[in-house]
């Protein structure tokens, strides 16, 4: 009886310890934490209707957002996001477009986001590690005929030094910073704003 | 007595010489075979905004192994620019340090970048430009937003960084860079 109890205790302890094990898949929710202040709406932006869509164009490691590593730097279990990262990028950009005064909905000028990368890599150091995140996406603006009016790639990267564990929480922190850096480029893209505002001008001329 | 010391020196010498298994077996650089679909595109490889090389696909580019991401951009007349991102993975040859090299070997591999690898081959797909593109007036260069900065000045996160990326406005039949 004592032997049975002892085994049960040992098994429970091992199971409890293995929860944070490098071979167990980590699932983390990733959020958009804006680095943009509260900008004044762009004059005329309220007359521009944007139809925003996003698609996954990742050719590598699309099944994860990072990979755990052990103390030797070896890749272990996947780190996945509990939410759809493609939709996360779309809603992040949508939020900033709305903050600039643009309207977002069906029937407007087509803005397509193509997610190229959403991944954090851990770098092994002598004592501590570093989280290196990269969030990249292309953004294309097309008119009603399908002609491309504007295209640009936005690359956001983030680096967090002195991490002790190469696990989901640290990957999440780096990815959120990289996402915010990439989206901030969209907000700061004057040429994009002018192209979007020009669609309002053309529609006004046409009517 | 001399024999014992000699054998000890031999062991230490062997340990030092094999330190960094991946550095020895795989090297600190690698070749990436860049292809495009269709072939003939001009491709540029960048890492953190710095150019690693250009090639007319298909062709090889030699890069230094590193843990940072490589961005490949290919362009070809009549096609939209194609993009592929290569994330760094773990070089399995580094596991040899478990047998030989030990902690010294791992540190050597990590510091030289030899513990990383990129995919050896990559194909960048290109999409034909949509036919019948309509001429659109080029936007003026006047900033309309007080907080806006020119596209050439990348945004920067507090702990992160943003790197300049190609800008491709399309105006009628001709495509020019801002």
Lowest mean pLDDT of A16-30, A67-81, A90-104, name the range. A16-30
Check CB contact under 8 Å for A37 and B163.
no
Check CB contact under 8 Å for A60 and B87.
yes
pLDDT at A67: 94
Q: Measured between alpha carbons, how far is residue A19 from residues A5, A11, B42, B106 in Å? A: 22, 13, 48, 27
pLDDT at B157: 38
pLDDT at residue A90 is higher than 90: yes
Q: Which residues contact B172 (CB under 8 A, 6 or more apart)?
A: B133, B134, B135, B136
pLDDT at residue A142 is higher than 60: yes
Reported ipTM: the value is 0.82
Give this prediction's pTM.
Answer: 0.77
pLDDT at residue B14 is higher than 70: no
CB atoms inside a 10 Å sphere around CB A133: 31
- Residue % of chain A over a pLDDT of 90: 67
Spatial distance between the Cα atoms of B168 and B117, rounded to a whole number of angstroms: 31
Judge if the upstream peptide bond of residue B58 is cis by omega within 30 degrees of 0. yes
B84 at the A interface (CB within 8 A)? Answer: yes
Higher-confidence position of B46 and B27: B46
Question: What CATH fold (topology level) applies to the domain B2-129?
Answer: Immunoglobulin-like (2.60.40)
A105 within 8 A of A49, measured Cβ to Cβ: yes
Query: Pick from A121, A159, A195: which is nearest to B87 by CB?
Result: A121
The structure tokens listed for A11 are 């098994």
Check CB contact under 8 Å for B107 and A126.
yes
- Sequence ranges of the domains in chain A: 42-206
- Residue % of chain A over a pLDDT of 70: 93
Strands (DSSP E) contained in B58-140 are 59-64, 70-75, 82-86, 89-90, 116-117, 121-125
Q: Tell me how close the Cα of B82 comes to any Cα of chain A, in angstroms.
A: 10
Strands laid side by side in the B121-125 sheet = B59-64, B29-37, B121-125
A161-171 pLDDT per residue, tens: 988 888 899 99
B68-107 pLDDT per residue, tens: 999 999 999 999 999 999 999 987 777 777 676 677 777 7
Q: Can you count the helices (H) and strands (E) in chain B?
A: 3, 12
B112-139 pLDDT per residue, tens: 787 889 999 999 999 998 764 433 333 3
Q: Tell me how close the Cα of A60 comes to any Cα of chain B, in angstroms.
A: 7
Q: Tell me how close the Cα of A135 comes to any Cα of chain B, in angstroms.
A: 10
Spatial distance between the Cα atoms of A150 and A189, rounded to a whole number of angstroms: 11
B150 at the A interface (CB within 8 A)? Answer: yes
Question: What's the sign of the alpha-carbon dihedral B96, B99, B105, B107?
Answer: positive
pLDDT at B112: 79
pLDDT at B12: 53
Average pLDDT, integer, range B23-30: 77
Q: Does domain A42-206 have CATH number 3.40.50.10610?
A: yes
pLDDT at B84: 95
**Strand pairing class (B70-75; B42-47):** antiparallel
- Sequence ranges of the domains in chain B: 2-129
pLDDT band at A188 (very low <50, low <70, confident <90, very high): very high
Query: Pick from A116, A133, A181: which is nearest to B156 by CB?
Result: A181
């Amino acid at each position: 009886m004592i032997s049975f109890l002892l085994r049960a205790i040992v098994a429970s302890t091992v199971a409890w310890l293995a929860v944070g094990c490098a071979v167990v898949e980590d699932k983390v929710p990733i959020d958009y934490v804006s680095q943009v202040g509260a900008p004044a709406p762009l004059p005329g932006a309220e007359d521009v209707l944007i139809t925003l869509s996003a698609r996954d164009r990742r050719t590598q490691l699309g099944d994860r957002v990072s990979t755990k590593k052990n103390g030797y730097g070896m890749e272990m279990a996947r780190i996945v996001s509990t939410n759809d990262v493609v939709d996360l990028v779309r809603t992040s950009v949508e939020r900033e477009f709305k903050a600039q005064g643009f309207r977002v909905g069906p029937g407007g000028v087509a803005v397509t986001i193509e997610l190229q990368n959403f991944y954090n890599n851990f770098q092994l150091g002598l004592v501590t590690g570093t989280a290196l995140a990269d969030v990249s996406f292309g953004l294309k603006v097309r008119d009603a005929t399908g002609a491309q009016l504007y295209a640009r790639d936005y690359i956001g990267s983030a680096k967090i030094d002195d991490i002790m564990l190469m696990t989901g929480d640290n990957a999440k922190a780096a990815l959120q910073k990289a996402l915010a850096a990439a989206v901030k480029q969209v907000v700061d893209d004057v040429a994009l704003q002018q192209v979007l505002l020009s669609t309002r001008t053309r529609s006004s001329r046409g009517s | 007595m001399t024999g014992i010391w000699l054998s000890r020196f031999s062991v230490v010498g062997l340990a030092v010489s094999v330190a960094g298994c991946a550095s020895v077996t795989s090297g600190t650089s690698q070749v990436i075979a860049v292809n495009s679909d269709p072939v003939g595109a001009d491709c540029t490889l960048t890492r953190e905004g710095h150019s690693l090389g250009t090639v007319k696909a298909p062709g090889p580019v030699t890069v230094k192994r590193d843990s940072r991401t490589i961005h490949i951009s290919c362009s070809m007349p009549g096609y939209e620019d194609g993009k592929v991102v290569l994330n760094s993975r773990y070089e399995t040859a580094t596991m040899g340090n478990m047998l030989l090299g030990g902690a010294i070997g791992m540190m050597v591999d990590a510091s030289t970048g030899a513990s990383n690898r990129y995919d050896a081959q990559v194909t960048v797909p290109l999409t034909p430009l949509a036919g019948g593109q309509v001429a659109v007036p080029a936007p003026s260069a006047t900033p309309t937003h007080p907080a806006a900065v020119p596209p050439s000045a990348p945004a920067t996160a507090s702990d992160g960084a943003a790197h300049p990326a190609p800008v491709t406005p399309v105006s009628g039949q001709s495509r020019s860079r801002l």
